[in-house]
């Protein structure tokens, strides 16, 4: 089923050498039936991450999502009436987004976007797909698209903790492990401001009551465990030991 007024999108044949072809989309579950939807849990999560980043949208704000995947953030941004553009490497996903009235371009067209034209760039589960040798250049390209004061919010598997191994090693297309040390290096080389680095947000509301209670209990236990590990082993740093994913927020100086 598709949204009202949207025509079904036919998937192209998968190129033989494509790491992100149709079989990859099926494995991820990124299909037309569940594409571009933001449920209560996704909405609560995005709300929490953006609130923590300090992003405040205005009528003139422009938002860019790198690697929109199943389109949940694009749907969330549309619900907010934001001026949003999404990029993806798979043409089928781009076509599905366009069929739902979303603004989407192929990842190869990123260099066609005007520099210093976005207030917020989000990249959920993207940077780990970039080869280590190209990571700095890729993030630099994203930073050049931000206006002064603009924010780059990126989420990726936590390379500082064994809890991140399942996410990092669970996808054959993941190439780079990123932790606090690399984040500090990127921030220094890009001459940005590190607004935040830590475990991904855990919204206490959204979804079923049972899930909300489990998240509340889990969050309390994780905080205790994080405090213990950092006190004993990392007295000069603070890592999000119990978080499988971490979030980095960089800001372009005003």
Q: Using an 8 Å Cβ cutoff, are 61 and 120 in contact?
A: yes
Structure tokens belonging to residue 156: 């990726």
Asked whether residue 1 is assigned to any structural domain, the reply reads no
- Mean local confidence (pLDDT), 240-248: 91
Bridge partners of 193, per DSSP, are 251
Per-residue confidence band for 223, with pLDDT thresholds at 50, 70 and 90? confident
Please state, as a whole number, how many other Cβ atoms lie within 10 Å of the Cβ of residue 20: 20
Average pLDDT, the chain: 88
Tell me if 12 is assigned to some domain: no
**Beta-ladder partners of 118:** 146
Q: How confident is the model at residue 242 (pLDDT cuts 50, 70, 90)?
A: confident
Tokens of 213: 């209670």
Does 9 fall in a domain?
Answer: no
pLDDT at 203: 81
* DSSP-based three-state secondary structure for 98: helix
92 or 211: which carries more pLDDT confidence? Answer: 92
Q: Does residue 14 have a pLDDT over 50?
A: no
Residue 2 belongs to some domain of the structure = no
**Pick from 59, 62, 68, 129: nearest CA to 98:** 68
Give the C-alpha separation, 93 to 66, whole Å: 13
The pair of three-digit structure tokens given for residue 77, joined into one six-digit string = 């941004």
Task: Please state the domain count of the chain.
Answer: 1
Report the percent of the chain where pLDDT is more than 90.
71
CATH number, domain with residue 67: 3.40.50.150
Lowest mean pLDDT among 47-51, 117-121, 173-177, 219-223: 219-223
The burial class, CB within 10 Å (0-12 / 13-18 / 19+), for 18 is middle
Q: What is the pLDDT of residue 148?
A: 98
pLDDT tens per residue, range 21-62: 889 999 999 988 899 999 988 999 999 999 999 999 998 999
Provide the sign of the torsion angle of the four alpha carbons 210, 214, 217, 223, taken in this order. negative
Q: What is the pLDDT of residue 220?
A: 64
For the chain, what percent of residues have pLDDT higher than 70? 83
Please enumerate in sequence order all residues whose Cβ is within 8 A of that of 163, keeping only pairs 6 or more positions apart, or say none. 241, 242, 243, 244
For residue 2, what pLDDT band results from cuts at 50, 70 and 90?
very low
Q: Is residue 39 part of a domain?
A: yes
What's the whole-model pTM score? Answer: 0.88
What digits encode the pLDDT tens for the residues 123-167? 999 999 999 999 999 999 999 999 999 999 999 999 999 999 999
Q: Quote the CA–CA distance of 66 and 18 in Å, as a whole number.
A: 19
Q: SS3 for 81?
A: coil
CA atoms within 13 A on the CB side of 234: 15
pLDDT given for residue 19 in this prediction: 84
Above 60 in pLDDT, residue 10?
A: no
Q: Which domain holds residue 162?
A: 22-251
| pLDDT tens figures, 75-90 | 999 999 999 999 999 9
Closest CA relative to residue 178, chosen from 160, 197, 201, 165: 160
Closest residue by Cα to residue 153 from 241, 240, 67, 243: 67
């Amino acid at each position: 089923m598709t949204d009202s007024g949207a025509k079904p999108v036919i998937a192209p044949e998968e190129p033989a050498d494509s790491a992100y072809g149709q079989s990859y989309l099926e494995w991820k579950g990124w299909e037309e039936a569940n594409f571009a939807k933001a449920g209560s849990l996704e909405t609560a999560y995005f709300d929490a991450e953006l609130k923590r980043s300090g992003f405040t949208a205005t009528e003139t704000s422009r938002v860019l999502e790198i690697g929109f995947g199943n389109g949940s953030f694009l749907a969330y941004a549309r619900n907010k009436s934001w001026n949003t553009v999404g990029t993806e490497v798979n043409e089928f996903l781009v076509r599905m987004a366009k069929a739902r009235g979303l603004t989407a371009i192929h990842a190869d067209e990123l260099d066609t976007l005007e520099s210093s034209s976005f207030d917020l760039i989000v990249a959920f589960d993207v940077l780990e797909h970039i080869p280590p040798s190209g990571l700095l250049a890729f993030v630099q390209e994203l930073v050049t698209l931000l206006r002064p004061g603009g924010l780059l919010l990126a989420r990726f598997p936590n390379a500082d903790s064994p809890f991140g191994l399942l996410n990092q090693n669970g996808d054959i297309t993941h190439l780079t492990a990123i932790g606090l040390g690399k984040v500090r290096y990127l921030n220094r080389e890009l001459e940005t401001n590190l607004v935040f680095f830590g475990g991904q947000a855990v919204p206490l509301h959204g979804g079923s009551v049972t899930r909300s209670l489990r998240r509340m209990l889990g969050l309390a236990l994780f905080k205790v465990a994080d405090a213990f590990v950092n006190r004993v082993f990392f007295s000069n740093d603070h890592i999000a030991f119990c978080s499988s994913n971490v979030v980095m927020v960089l800001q372009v100086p005003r």
